[in-house]
Amino acid sequence: MNAKTLILLLLSMPLLAFGQSNSSIDLITGVEYSYRTLSTSSSDAIINGIMERRDEETGKLSGRMLISKATRPWDSTN
């Protein structure tokens, strides 16, 4: 790292540290698709029947959304 970059980084540290807001609102979303696969080396008819029924299953689509508000605990203005 050259000297100019290091000096610029050191001078910008106070701006980055004290320029943050006191509270924040977070929005987290997600969509997931899950599917399970099973395998066996058994030749038992009952186990093979279970495996055939499980192979007929379809995947599951699920979603989630989370909204949260956070305030810094050391903030004295609240």
Name 74's Cβ contacts closer than 8 Å, sequence gap at least 6. none
* SS3 call for 77: coil
What are the start-end ranges of the H helices in 1-78? 3-18, 45-55
**pLDDT single digits (tens) 2-59:** 888 888 888 888 777 666 667 778 889 999 998 777 777 888 888 888 888 887 878 8
Q: Could you tell me the residue ranges of all domains in the chain?
A: 22-71
Determine if the pTM surpasses 0.75: no
The pLDDT, as a whole number, for residue 72 is 65
The pLDDT, as a whole number, for residue 36 is 77
Task: Write out the H or E segment, with its range, that includes residue 75.
Answer: none
Q: Which two tokens stand for residue 38?
A: 């099973």
